[in-house]
């Protein structure tokens, strides 16, 4: 049996919109969901204007936060152990920030990188998808910024 781990980044600000196939966007179904909206806002940095989590400057800026780096590494280690110690055939991790273009993309990438390093025996296949990377920022589309945070 080939085991698989799928990592999906997304934007909470796009939930309720329709995609190119006229399908309503929702929070992706996942076994593990990380909400990183409160981690290191990068939208206020003019040097990062127009960049995404695929750009090295954003990647380095987000991971400069020890909390962000630790969250990604610990998620990867825990996921690897779970896949190694159980009969799970498939596991999905969803990582969401407000727009799904920076923080979530970086955390998803870093989890994938760490999992690839841990997967020395090719025990599982890895797939990473950045669902909202190509969408306009919810802020630029007129959506209120209030959706960026949450009230505990």
| Residue 139 belongs to some domain of the structure | yes
Q: What is the pLDDT of residue 144?
A: 46
For the chain, give the DSSP string.
Answer: --EEEEEEEEEGGGTT-B-TTSPBP-PPP-SEEEE-TTS---TT-GGGTT--TTSHHHHHHHHTSHHHHHHHHHHHHHHHHHHHHS--SEEEEEEEESSSSSHHHHHHHHHHHHHHHH-TT--EEEEEEETTTTSPPTTTTT--GGGGS---
**Angle subtended at Cα 129 by Cα 103 and Cα 54, rounded to the nearest 5 degrees:** 45
| Residue 152 belongs to some domain of the structure | no
**Angle subtended at Cα 45 by Cα 53 and Cα 7, rounded to the nearest 5 degrees:** 20
Q: How high is the mean pLDDT in each 10-residue block of the chain (152 residues)?
A: 94 94 95 91 77 95 93 97 92 96 96 96 95 85 46 36
Q: Structurally, how many domains does the chain consist of?
A: 1
Q: What is the pLDDT of residue 148?
A: 47
| Residue 109 belongs to some domain of the structure | yes
Q: What is the pLDDT of residue 149?
A: 45
| Residue 151 belongs to some domain of the structure | no
| Residue 137 belongs to some domain of the structure | yes
| Residue 53 belongs to some domain of the structure | yes
Domain of residue 44 covers 3-146
Q: What is the pLDDT of residue 2?
A: 87
């Amino acid at each position: 049996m080939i085991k698989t781990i799928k990592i999906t980044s997304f934007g909470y600000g796009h939930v309720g919109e329709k995609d190119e196939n006229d399908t309503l966007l929702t929070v992706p179904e996942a076994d593990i969901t990380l909400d990183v909206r409160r981690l290191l806002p990068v939208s206020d940095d003019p040097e990062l204007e127009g960049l995404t989590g695929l750009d090295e400057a954003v990647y380095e800026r987000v991971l400069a936060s020890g909390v962000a780096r630790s969250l990604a590494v610990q998620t990867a280690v825990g996921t690897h152990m779970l896949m190694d110690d159980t009969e799970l055939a498939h596991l999905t991790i969803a990582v969401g920030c407000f727009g799904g273009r920076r923080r979530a993309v970086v955390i998803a990438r870093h989890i994938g990188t760490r999992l690839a390093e841990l997967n020395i025996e090719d025990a599982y296949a890895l797939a990473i998808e950045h669902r909202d990377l190509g969408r306009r920022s919810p802020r630029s589309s007129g959506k209120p910024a209030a959706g960026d945070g949450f009230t505990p």
